[in-house]
Amino acid sequence: MTDLTIVEALQAVVGATSEKDTIPVLKHFAFRNGVVYATDGRMTLSAPCPELAAIEGTVDAERMLAAIIGLSEDEVSWKHEITASHIIVKSKHFTARLPFGTLDSFPFPEEQLTIMKYRKLKLLPLLKLLHPFVSTDASRPWSCGVYFGGMFAAATNNAVLALCPIPINITHDFMLPLFAIDELLRLDQEPLGYHLGENRVTFKLPQGILLHSSLFNEQWPKPPVVLLKQLATDAKYKAISANVPAALERLLPFCLDPKAPVICFDEATMSTVAGEVQGIMQGLKGLGQCRFRAEPLREVLKVATHADFTKFPRVPWRGEEIEGIIVGVMA
């Protein structure tokens, strides 16, 4: 695998910069020992950048990235200079002069870590599968990430509970926050290994990229495996008709409330809530008397192959390497 270019290194870490101006250094790149860092205080990304090894300091991330991208697109040679207070990058026709700070206030992560390799677990496909079911409800922080415990990973958005089996046994339960998941999915590279601490996790990615993230200490009300077992007791799963997802898409434009669309099931019918505008799809199979919010239902139908709709309002479902519960809405 080839080394990262300067642009690729900066683009790899920029996702960790803070979106707030409260602490200015958290909106900066930090360069140290040929490595570029970025952090928002919760998560830190680093990547090798040997071409800028002479730089030791911090610089505004957004402007530095814009300058380097512009110089790279010009496809001409360029150089940089450092003064007492600025970094200057320039080519024949372009110059960018940016304030340059010291490293004193930048919160570097601990890096002398033993990275454990895992060959059985493919983390990226797992996170892609569970990501749609992760909550963004800050009032329930325990739901704003993916739970790892035992031989399962789980997520919930409080309308859907989703579990996936994993091929390793996690003896120290932890919650991987959504912000770290989003970055791993943005980088789209399968981690090579990890280090799990008491309240932090580090992922080693290809090309020398490291992602350090804090972990949530919030506990689920009950372990997700226990919840699923309780809610799916005696479930009689039936295949979901292949035309149900397409029927849902056809019905969505006819929902009375487009901000909170609801889909109603009958034995062989799907419809929107009755009103001045209504859509109805007939000739379906394997349904029951149910009502669901459309968006959670849509995500479940992307992965579910079987369900027991007779268990409404808490309907168990299964798919390939994933299972869960979807909670319906009462009339």
Query: Strands 304-307 and 290-293: what pairing?
Result: unpaired
User: Cis peptide leading into 132, omega within 30 of 0?
Assistant: no
Coil/strand/helix, residue 50: helix
pLDDT reported for residue 75: 63
Question: Taking the model in full, what pTM does it have?
Answer: 0.91
Separation in Å, CA 276 to CA 127, 250, 264, 272: 41, 17, 16, 11
As a whole number of angstroms, the distance between CA 191 and CA 137 comes to: 27
Q: Are 44 and 17 in contact (CB under 8 A)?
A: no
Residue 30: count other Cβ atoms within 10 Å of its Cβ: 26
Mean pLDDT by 10 residues, the chain (331 residues): 88 94 93 96 96 93 92 75 89 89 92 70 94 95 93 95 92 92 97 88 94 90 90 93 94 90 92 91 88 96 96 96 96 76
Q: Residue count of the chain, please give it.
A: 331
Domains of the chain by start residue, with CATH: 6-101 (3.10.150.10), 116-231 (3.10.150.10), 238-327 (3.10.150.10)
DSSP secondary structure string for all residues of 92-134: SS-EEEEEEE-STT--PPP----PEE-SS--HHHHHHHHGGG-
pLDDT reported for residue 114: 73
As a whole number of angstroms, the distance between CA 106 and CA 98 comes to: 18
Half-sphere exposure of 30 (CA within 13 A, CB side): 23
pLDDT reported for residue 175: 93
pLDDT reported for residue 110: 80
The pair of structure tokens assigned to 79 is 């150089």
Separation in Å, CA 127 to CA 105, 116, 133, 166, 170: 33, 19, 10, 12, 16
Which of 125, 44, 59 lies closest to 97 in space, CA to CA? 59
